[in-house]
């Protein structure tokens, strides 16, 4: 998640009172996000922000429910249950964690990540469904009695495996990014038409604090041994679930994957879950999701087998652990250029790509970069206009931008570029090592 949530037109559902309150909730979370990296102010800002956030959220839920009732919205009861879960389970659990940890950085990030992710996701699906723009995410959930029994079973399993007393944070987990996580998927095939997909998400510190302690690992960092042990723990977890309810996941394992967060998002956006639960174990967060039955399409992941497990885990960790790398966003309408820049820079930087102004703003919102490499000659919305859009947002205005140009630079052309006051400019058709050196030099000078 970036430093700010940016309100976009697609968040407007067309009901003025609801849209107005959504914007207010965005504003409150943004205030807390601005002070996230200032420990001396963060606790006070967070305490005050939570009060306002709760007040407006509760008022919003009441007004929105009244509106749904007034138009006879058929999804009203399910929508109200989602509201009740957030106000009765999610918010109290997040507040409790903040109090118990004296507003630790992890607890604050949990609060902001879960609330921001929930708010955006809820607007784009549940609230948009009120006006018929989308379909509710929660139309295929298992019956409430079975859902409650599943919660109890998972809490019991977490205690059996880790000796941790877990609490349910959400019975409608939307895929919010609550911290650095390991996303593990098992797919069972009962027959050609029926498949069960289990996704278990371990916050990295949960693995370190539990499996790491059992294995005697001193490091606070995740490694191949810990991920491999987490795989077998997850398999044991699912096996116990299947033993508890033999009707779940008939058949054999068809596929096993470690997913990046982006791959998990795609799976989660495409399919409606039957179960989607988020827990606080006291040592880290844990999520359990089931999507079934349905036909799956390969999302581009490599299935883990006995002969490639260690190699796949190493590749996964290398791809997934970029916390200490500088973040670069490359914006260009050419897929060839995007691929070339990604291959050139990904060894030393965490590289994201975008092919349009809209996708660039979305990337910046979700994962604020340290540098933007921006194509100056893009069609429809050119580089100058994209830069103007970026600088128009207070939270983005100070992100450095280096223009990429495919044209020969004459005096007038350079003058136009420099008038926009970018951090620099580079020619796309120069030697790749020179482009890489230009990026390296930028960060070296910035670090002085």
pLDDT tens, per residue, the chain with 448 residues: 456 778 888 889 989 989 999 999 998 888 888 877 677 777 888 888 888 888 889 989 999 999 999 998 888 999 999 999 998 999 999 999 999 998 888 888 889 888 988 898 889 888 989 988 888 878 777 778 888 888 999 999 999 888 999 999 999 998 888 888 899 999 888 776 677 889 999 999 899 888 888 777 666 778 888 888 888 889 989 888 888 776 666 678 888 999 988 888 888 877 888 889 999 999 999 999 998 754 344 555 667 767 677 777 777 776 666 556 889 999 888 878 888 888 899 888 888 888 877 778 877 877 788 999 988 777 666 777 887 787 777 778 888 988 887 765 556 666 677 777 888 888 877 788 889 999 999 988 876 5
- Fold match between 144-319 and 323-447? no
φ and ψ at residue 65, rounded to 5 degrees? -65, -35
| d(C-alpha 313, C-alpha 256), whole Å | 12
The yes or no reply on domain 9-130 and CATH 1.20.120.50 is yes
Q: What's the confidence (pLDDT) of residue 85?
A: 92
Furthest CA-CA distance within the chain: 74
CB 12 within 8 A of CB 130: no
DSSP codes of every residue in 39-93: HHHHHHHHHHHHHHHHHHHHHHHHHHHHHHHHTT-TTHHHHHHHHHHIIIIIHHH
Q: What's the confidence (pLDDT) of residue 411?
A: 62
CB 167 within 8 A of CB 154: no
Beta bridge partners of 288: 200, 277
| d(C-alpha 11, C-alpha 15), whole Å | 11
Q: What's the confidence (pLDDT) of residue 368?
A: 84
- The domain 323-447 is placed in CATH, from the list 3.20.20.140, 1.10.287.70, 3.20.20.110, 3.40.50.2300, at 3.40.50.2300
| d(C-alpha 194, C-alpha 295), whole Å | 7
35-42, long-range: CB within 8 Å, 24+ apart, which pairs?
A: 36/3, 36/108, 36/109, 36/112, 39/105, 42/103, 42/108
Cα–Cα separations (whole angstroms), residue 240 to 90, 153, 255: 26, 9, 18
CB 277 within 8 A of CB 287: yes
CATH topology of domain 144-319: Chemotaxis protein chec (3.40.1550)
Task: Name the residue ranges covered by the structural domains of the chain.
Answer: 9-130, 144-319, 323-447
Q: What's the confidence (pLDDT) of residue 246?
A: 66
Answer yes or no: pTM beyond 0.75.
no
Residue among 351, 153, 346, 184 nearest 267 (CA): 184
* Apex 199 CA angle, 194 and 202, nearest 5: 165
């Amino acid at each position: 998640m970036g430093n700010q949530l940016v309100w976009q037109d697609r968040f407007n559902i067309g009901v003025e009172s609801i849209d107005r309150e959504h914007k207010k909730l965005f504003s409150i979370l943004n205030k807390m996000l601005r002070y996230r990296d200032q420990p001396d102010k963060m606790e006070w800002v967070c305490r005050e922000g939570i009060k306002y956030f709760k007040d407006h959220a509760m008022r919003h839920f009441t007004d929105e429910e009244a509106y749904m009732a007034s138009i006879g919205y058929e999804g009203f009861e399910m929508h109200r249950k989602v509201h009740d879960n957030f106000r009765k389970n999610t918010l109290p659990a997040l507040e409790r964690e903040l109090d118990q940890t004296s507003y630790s950085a992890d607890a604050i990030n949990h609060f902001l990540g879960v609330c921001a992710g929930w708010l955006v996701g809820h607007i784009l699906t549940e609230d948009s469904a009120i006006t018929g723009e989308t379909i509710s995410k929660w139309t295929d959930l298992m019956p409430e009695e079975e859902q409650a029994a599943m919660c109890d079973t998972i809490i019991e399993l977490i205690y059996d495996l880790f000796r941790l007393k877990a609490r349910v944070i959400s019975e409608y987990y939307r895929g919010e990014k609550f911290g650095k996580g390991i996303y593990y998927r098992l797919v069972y095939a009962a027959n050609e038409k029926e498949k069960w997909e289990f996704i278990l998400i371990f916050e990295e510190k949960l693995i370190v604090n539990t499996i790491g302690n059992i294995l005697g690992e001193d490091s606070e960092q995740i490694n191949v041994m810990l991920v491999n042990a987490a795989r077998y723990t997850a398999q044991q977890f699912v096996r116990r679930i299947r033993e508890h309810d033999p009707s779940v996941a008939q058949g054999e394992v068809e596929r096993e994957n470690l997913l990046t967060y982006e791959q998990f998002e795609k799976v989660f956006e495409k399919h409606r879950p039957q179960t989607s639960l988020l827990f606080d174990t006291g040592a880290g967060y844990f999520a359990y999701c089931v999507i079934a039955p349905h036909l799956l399409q390969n999302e581009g992941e490599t299935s883990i087998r006995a002969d490639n497990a260690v190699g796949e885990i190493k590749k996964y960790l290398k791809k997934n652990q970029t916390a200490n790398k500088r973040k670069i966003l490359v914006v260009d309408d050419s897929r060839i250029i995007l691929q070339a820049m990604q291959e050139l820079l990904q060894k030393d930087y965490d590289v994201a790509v975008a092919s349009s102004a809209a996708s660039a703003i979305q990337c910046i919102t979700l994962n604020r970069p340290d540098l933007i490499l921006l194509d100056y000659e893009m069609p429809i919305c050119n580089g100058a206009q994209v830069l103007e859009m970026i600088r128009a947002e207070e939270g983005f205005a100070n992100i450095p931008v280096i223009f990429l140009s495919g044209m020969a630079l004459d005096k007038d052309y350079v003058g136009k570029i420099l008038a926009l006051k970018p951090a620099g400019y580079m020619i796309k058709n120069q030697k790749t090592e020179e482009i890489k050196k230009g990026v390296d030099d930028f960060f070296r000078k910035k670090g002085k």
